[in-house]
Structure 1
Amino acid sequence: MALAASRVSLPPRPPDRARSRRRARRRNAAAAFLFLSPWLLGFGVFTAWPLIYSAYLSLTDYDVINDPGFVGLENYVQLFSDPKIALALGNTVLFTALQVPLYIIVALVLALLLNRAGRSAGFFRTVFFLPKMTPPVAVGVLFLLLFNGQNGLINVVLGWFGIDGPSWTTDPAWVKPGLIIMSLWTIGASVIILLAALRGVPDDLYDAAKIDGAGFWRQSLSVTLPLISPAIFFIVVVNTIAGLQTFDEAYTAFFGAGNTTYSNDAALFYVIYLFQQAFEFLQMGYASAMAWLLFALIMLVTVIQLVVSRRLVYYEAEDAR
């Protein structure tokens, strides 16, 4: 009896805290997956599955009408013997190599001007960003109107200064420069990003630089550029990827609606040739192989940029550590 009473009088066991934490983590994980499920479903259906299926199609001969026929690496071998691949890839790389630096320089100059604009900066931010909302097809049509060699607005303005404007849309040497200048139409988003980075530079650093006798250019090189270098690097990466995927404006201006009047070879970018193979010639297998080659090129360029950025990009948090 005494033993039974002692057992009854024992205090209850404390709860297992580790088990309670595990249950809480499981509940949190379940809630997180529940909220993420729409995105996960969309990613699986519209991104992951097309990637997997395009990798399969790149190994087949598929014309949409008939079932895919497995051909192995034949499509990839054909990439290296197709002369238009070299032409389109060369046009794309040259366009990107010229467009990205000019894009960054113009965006940075405009951001520096906006940073000194005072109360009117908000108005100009809106003005610079509005062209970004213009549909790319409209930009392609606008390109033909502005850069027409005979009566385009650009050549008319050049004529006011006694300059004979080139044939932007028919001379192969001027097709890509015209497209590069036209790409500045949508520069507003980058200007706003750089302006936000400039506004984040502490004024104390400029004051210290002035005490040391640094002028405007020394302050720009030693203070401004290092502190906004992460924003510049982000814009470089994003615009490099966009440049390697250039399609809408050039296709609308030079290939849309059966356009054969202008110098198409000078504007034949890689994604345009990919589009032609897929939807004009119905060579889906070959187009899929082209897409994976472009993916590999973009990955390689991005990795190189990330490696180079370790020496050129300044991160204040890492420096503090």
Structure 2
Amino acid sequence: MNQDSAIPVSKLMKSTKTKKLKNHSYAPLAGYLFISPWLIGFVILTVWPMVQSLYYTFTDFSLLSPPRWVGMQNFKEISEDRYFYNSLKVTFTFVLTSVPGRLIFALLVALLLNKKIKGISFYRTIIYLPSLIGGSVAVAVLWKNIFGINGFINHIVPLLGIEPKNWIGTPGTALGTLVTLSVWQFGSAMIIFLAGLKQIPSELYEASDVDGASRLRQFFTVTLPLLSPVIFFNLIMSVINSFQSFTAAFVVTNGGPLNSTEMYALYLYQKAFATLHMGYASALAWILLVIVAIATAINFIASKYWVFYENDAGGRR
């Protein structure tokens, strides 16, 4: 090689470093370019409506006239609104009854579907199918007919010695029909539980068999502790979804009878689109956000006492 044509090592290293820096500078730009459709949609459809809603919270806005600033007046009216407190009572009752029922039922079904039997995949599919349409208006209408005065339930309860009644039209039982519908929509939680059960090492069950542990003891000492992170995840998602429950209450009972099923989300909807009090409804929406955030925070704080992780020291979070 001619000495004059040789490229100095320092110059070659500098050129290579420059190319790497150029390539590195383009990498984040390419990433943002690919996610830009989602970012644009997130800003336009989520962030901006939230900012507007926060502003409307402090205004008197009816959609038919420009918003008028009223400060904390909406929150003052809410504090004196008995229907607001009734919707809170109904919603908390619904959450505290439907969430445990759904999780327990989903876990029991997942345990049954975790067996190695012939055709188990078919059974899993059949059981999960209702969850694909579980939150739809069609299912809510079907549920209304099932629990109606001439519905299917009133044809079978006499066999159990129970007198037929209008389950939806009676204040004492109307909310129970919505809770039953929520528990029936267990498919999503069941699939997640089933995935969690598949991750539990079979060696632990074999070791407990050697120690003479019964199936019930294995459930409480092996299955539940190792499944606790999955239970926690399902709990958080179920609580959030239950606080926002709307379709069933709107279609099946429309808040009746005597406001016994007037969920918080339904009351918010009525204030926003029935009476056109958008400012008032915006304040209700932000109160709901705070309630859900507090409930979620309480669950996270309490989780350190019952959620166990395999890779943590001592097995405890």
Per the normalisation by structure 2, the TM-score is: 0.92
Q: Summarize the alignment of residues 1-321 of structure 1 with structure 2, pairs less than 5 Å apart.
A: 11-13=8-10, 14-16=12-14, 21-134=20-133, 136-148=136-148, 150-255=149-254, 262-319=256-313
- Per the TM alignment, residue 220 of structure 1 is displaced from its structure 2 partner at its CA by 0.4
Distance 1:242 1:264 in 2: 24
- Per the TM alignment, residue 177 of structure 1 is displaced from its structure 2 partner at its CA by 1.2
- Per the TM alignment, residue 217 of structure 1 is displaced from its structure 2 partner at its CA by 1.2
AA of the residue aligned to 2:40: L
Aligned residues of 1:128 and 1:187 also touching (Cα < 8 A): no
Tell me how many residue pairs correspond in the alignment.
310
Match of 1:3 in 2: none
AA of the residue aligned to 2:142: L
AA of the residue aligned to 2:294: L
Distance 1:307 1:220 in 2: 25
- The structure-2 alpha-carbon separation of the partners of 1:248 and 1:12, relative to structure 1 and needing over 3 Å to count, comes to same
AA of the residue aligned to 1:99: S
- Per the TM alignment, residue 184 of structure 1 is displaced from its structure 2 partner at its CA by 2.5
AA of the residue aligned to 1:46: L
Aligned residues of 1:89 and 1:269 also touching (Cα < 8 A): yes
- The structure-2 alpha-carbon separation of the partners of 1:22 and 1:309, relative to structure 1 and needing over 3 Å to count, comes to farther
Q: Helix, strand or coil: the match of 1:316?
A: coil
Aligned residues of 2:99 and 2:183 also touching (Cα < 8 A): no
- Per the TM alignment, residue 7 of structure 1 is displaced from its structure 2 partner at its CA by 10
Distance 1:254 1:10 in 2: 83
Range with bigger deviation, 132-141 or 304-313: 132-141
Distance 1:72 1:184 in 2: 41
Identity %: 35
AA of the residue aligned to 2:137: V
Q: Helix, strand or coil: the match of 2:102?
A: helix
Range with bigger deviation, 151-160 or 65-74: 151-160
Distance 2:37 2:287 in 1: 31
What stretches of structure 2 of length at least 5 have no aligned partner?
Answer: none
Aligned residues of 1:58 and 1:289 also touching (Cα < 8 A): yes
